[in-house]
Amino acid sequence: MIRILEVTASPHDGGLAEGDIETTAPGPVIAVATAAELADQRAAHWLEHATLTLSEAESADRRVVTVDSVDAAIADLERVCGHSPISAAVCDDVLRANAAHAATRAGLVTESLAYSTLQAGPEFARWLAERGPVSIAAESGDAVLLSRVEDTLELRFNRPHRHNAFDNRTRVALLEALTVARLDPTVRAIRLSGAGGSFCSGGDLAEFGGFTDPAHSHLARTRYSPALAIDAMTRRLGRDCRAQVHGRVLGSGLEMAAFFGWVRAHPDTAFALPELGLGLIPGAGGTVSVTRRMGRWRTAFLIMSGRTVTATTALAWGLVDEIGA
């Protein structure tokens, strides 16, 4: 259940005293604002402490999401969060926790523990039941293609028939490639792209629910984490650790790309974080990487609204660094 209030409301309105937001009924708190209200000194509290602020006025403030219609945006938030209220509340908690520190590993552990909690919850169980049983077809060929051009390691997701959905084979191959880069000091640049129509359309849904149990799932995510490997290479290479994205960049595809030091997006790229619809939250590092790039407020909107954003919006928000074919 989301709560709606004016951005200039008293910190005590609705029983939400300053510092008490975590002790009230769980769920996102959405502030709404006009252009005049955004400039009002009374807006300071909820701009900072709300889950996000919606406005039809243009604003460069990363705490504000500018929309064509506040009413339509609220309707989307109510629909998605109403369908998965537990996941929405947990997501809000994790985004707030991870925004409070910059440590990648600590943030990934927080995210993974929350993700495992939701894997054992009723909303994910409902999604699994609605999806029904699936069979996973055996695949041949390399899930990630590698090539070396002088001092640059070129990597390419290679499941074009699945829009490069991120499965376990791809995870293993990507980690192996990044290990090569980590151990080879002559690698001075990395480029990751995707074959076919999309960079990466997120986790392969056929594999969802195939974990042994949530505890082992947590250990696997945090011990064999592409996010940690990419983050380490970005710290070493900076802007020379690059992702070239196009087509669908969804879920884990977006979460991993956001860890790169430089992200170039094709003009027609579409970005989304649809995990809440499954009764989950981003689980490939997105509550760290995406939040780091564009703040917890706009990250919350992307997750909780179920909306897709364009390359132009992604650039304005800092989610990508450049647009180009």
- For all residues of the chain together, what is the average pLDDT? 94
pLDDT recorded at residue 23? 54
Cα within 13 Å of Cα(221), Cβ side: 27
CA-CA distance, 135 to 151, in Å (whole number)? 41
3-state DSSP call for residue 148? strand
CA-CA distance, 138 to 154, in Å (whole number)? 26
Single-letter amino acid code for the residue at 71 = D
**Got the DSSP string for 20-69?**
-GGGSS-S-EEEEE-HHHHTSGGGHHHHHHSSEEEESS----TTEEE-S-
pLDDT recorded at residue 190? 99
CA-CA distance, 182 to 178, in Å (whole number)? 6
* The pLDDT of residue 18 is above 60: no
* Listed range (31-45, 55-69, 185-199, 210-224) with the worst mean pLDDT: 210-224
* The pLDDT of residue 121 is above 80: yes
pLDDT recorded at residue 20? 53
What CA–CA distances, in Å, run from 300 to 145, 224, 305?
A: 33, 26, 8
For every residue of 63-75, which 3-state class applies, written as one string? CEEECCCHHHHHH
And the tokens for 245? 């994205």
Q: Are 188 and 152 in contact (CB under 8 A)?
A: yes
Report the relative pairing of strands 152-157 and 270-272 from DSSP bridges. unpaired
Q: Name the band, by pLDDT with cuts 50, 70 and 90, for residue 16.
A: low
Which domains does the chain possess?
3-83 (no CATH), 104-282+309-323 (3.90.226.10)
| pTM given for the model | 0.94
Q: pLDDT tens-digit profile of 25-41? A: 678 999 999 999 999 99
Q: pLDDT tens-digit profile of 213-228? A: 899 999 999 999 999 9
**Greatest Cα pair distance in the chain:** 61
